[in-house]
Amino acid sequence: MKVVKEAEAEISTEQFISEHFVVYVIKGTMNLFDGSEHLALKSGECCIARKNRLGRFNKIKVNDELEKVIIALDEKFLRSFQEKHHKIKAKYNLADTFIKVGLLPIEWVKST
């Protein structure tokens, strides 16, 4: 059983999410909160944090290690990607701030 120091487990103040972000946890755990939903990302898991939302998070070291990758997807990049790949924008009514994407093998992340 891992003992977590109180300072490591503190939840951040509420943050405004100004862009869409992809969050990938390599080592450790990252807990995300949006006021009503909680998402725990462990090693190999990722999610999309949607822009113009409020969220809180905390990061927890596992075996004294924490490593993550966070990629901002600004509007200019997303429009360019859409034009290049001719993707049709889908309409949906998803209220979630954090959308879990799934597992990615750590070997795949390190090789790209």
Angle at 107 between CA 103 and CA 112, to 5 degrees: 100
76: domain CATH number? 2.60.120.810
Tell me the residue range of the domain where 82 lies: 6-101
> Per the domain annotation, does 20 fall within a domain?
yes
Single pTM value for the model: 0.75
Q: Which two tokens stand for residue 58?
A: 């905390």
Q: Which two tokens stand for residue 98?
A: 């954090």
pLDDT digits over 80-107, tens only? 988 898 777 666 667 889 988 866 655 5
pLDDT digits over 7-33, tens only? 455 667 889 999 999 999 999 999 999
Mind giving me the DSSP string for 19-32? SEEEEEEEESEEEE
pLDDT digits over 58-81, tens only? 999 999 999 999 999 999 999 898
How many domains, in total, are found in the chain? Answer: 1
